[in-house]
Amino acid sequence: MNILEIINKKKNKELLTKEELSFAFNGYDKGDILDYQMASLLMAITINGLTEEEVFNLTEIFIESGEKISFEGFDYVDKHSTGGIGDKTTLIVAPIVAACGIPILKMSGRGLGHTGGTIDKLESIKDFKINLSIEEIKESLIKNKIVLVGQSANIAPLDKKIYLLRDVTSTVESIDLIAVSIMSKKIALGAKNIVIDLKVGNGALVKNMNDAYLLASLMKKIGTKFERNVSFIISNMGNPLGLTIGNSLEVLESIQVLKGNGAYDITNLSLVLSAKLIEMHKKIDFKEAFMMAKNALDKGLAFNKFLELIKNQDGILGSLTRAKNEMVIYSQKTGYITSIDAYGLGVEAKNIKAGRATKEDIIDYQVGIELHYQVGQLVKEDQPLATVYYNEVKPNEEKILKCFKIENEKIENKLILGVINYDSN
């Protein structure tokens, strides 16, 4: 078998057998296939796609590349987001769900493309332990009902290597590769009930509703094949979520949400995602589940659970800081904000080191952008639109200002674009 033949087959839109996929991907995992060869194959897949059979086979190859977690007689849930600008919902949803008595295990990744990664956010908390053994995960789930960890070297390790390569080879938007990446980790983690926050818009990996439904359909089919219940909340990522972009800033904002002082969009989406997990686990009506989630937030139970999580995984919350330098971006006119370019702000945040341009880049956890207004709000001339916190790299004020569109007419920012439920029968 030859890697060049495999690349050529996919370049020519031919079906790859499970043996060929295994040869290429497991060969890359072992170091027999080089970065540039795998990058070529990933690009061919991104352009020409995979069949359902290829997707199922590649998902299984990813799962079988490492260990699988299964705690007999112990039921827990999982949540995933396809990624977006300012998306810190995991830091809010997991404590809410755990505060409702439901164990939640979330294994998260690092930033991908222009989007932020939950693990990068957690690592902005000094000494927070993102690597736990399976024994430690089980102990924490039983004791605290909440575990947030990085992708273990033993859980779908092949995906971790491919994930990093996709990030720097313009292959992050392949629907098939997104589905394989997400579902291989979810299945290996063992949760039976999974909620996917599927983000759509210019700030997300998925740009339009058609692709969103294609991705959801594919992930649901993978879930069915591997006996998992998967529901989807399709949410708008045309504008940033919440008021902050950048790792420390997003953790600090999550704390404000958990204290009941968060922006409406991030608060409401977090409650909807939490309610969907509660509904699936407890098999109750969504409205009842939503009230349970809101009660956990309003009474401070979720914030207390967040503090338990940080303490249990050795983190020091007081270590969170912003970068020393500030640049304030002022509005040049009076009017309603009709759009905020999520992708543009994500790129500018990455440029000041809030994200990675290469696999080797080191993130600056302190830098980022804080918004003072959201879509639909009235801003007056010379009022601050945003504050940029930076260290080494000075922000591009002109490019950031261009991300804000201000007009005379007010518009509604619709957040929830669709819901796809699991098949309860």
**Is residue 31 helix, strand or coil?**
coil
Residues 170 and 250: their CA atoms lie apart, in Å, by 26
Catalytic site residue 181?
yes
Which sign does the torsion angle of CA 25, 30, 32, 33 carry?
A: positive
Residue 159 is a catalytic residue: yes
CATH annotation of 3-49: 1.20.970.10
Tell me the helix, strand and coil percentages in the chain, rounded to 5. Answer: 45, 15, 40
Give the Cα separation of 230 and 222 in Å (integer): 9
Common-topology check for domains 3-49 and 77-152+182-318+415-420: no
Q: In the chain, what are the domain boundaries?
A: 3-49, 77-152+182-318+415-420, 321-407
The catalytically annotated residue of 185, 186, 353, 356 is: 185
Indicate which residue of 159, 167, 265, 341 is catalytic. 159
Catalytic residue (one of 174, 181, 254, 270): 181
Question: What architecture is the 77-152+182-318+415-420 domain classified under in CATH?
Answer: 3-Layer(aba) Sandwich (3.40)
- As a CATH number, domain 321-407 is 3.90.1170.30
Active site residue 166: yes
Q: Look up residue 190 and give its DSSP letter.
A: T
Which residue among the candidates 79, 80, 220, 353 is catalytic per the annotation?
80
Q: Among 168, 175, 177, which residue's Cα sits nearest to residue 114?
A: 168
Three-state SS sequence of 177-191: HHHHHHHHHHHHHCC
Q: What does DSSP say about strands 335-340 and 404-407: parallel, antiparallel, or unpaired?
A: antiparallel
**pTM for this predicted structure:** 0.90
What tens-digit pLDDT sequence spans the chain (425 residues)? 999 999 999 999 999 999 999 999 999 999 999 999 999 999 999 999 999 999 999 999 999 999 888 887 789 999 998 888 999 999 999 999 999 999 999 987 776 555 568 888 999 999 999 998 888 988 999 999 999 988 765 888 899 899 889 978 989 889 999 999 999 989 999 999 999 999 999 888 888 999 999 999 999 999 999 999 999 999 999 999 999 999 999 999 999 999 999 999 999 999 999 999 999 999 999 999 999 999 999 999 999 999 999 999 999 988 899 999 999 999 999 999 999 999 999 999 999 999 877 767 788 999 999 999 999 999 999 999 999 999 999 999 999 999 999 999 998 889 999 999 987 54
In angstroms, the CA 19 to CA 31 distance is: 17
Is 254 known to be catalytic?
no
- The answer to whether 207 is a known catalytic residue is no
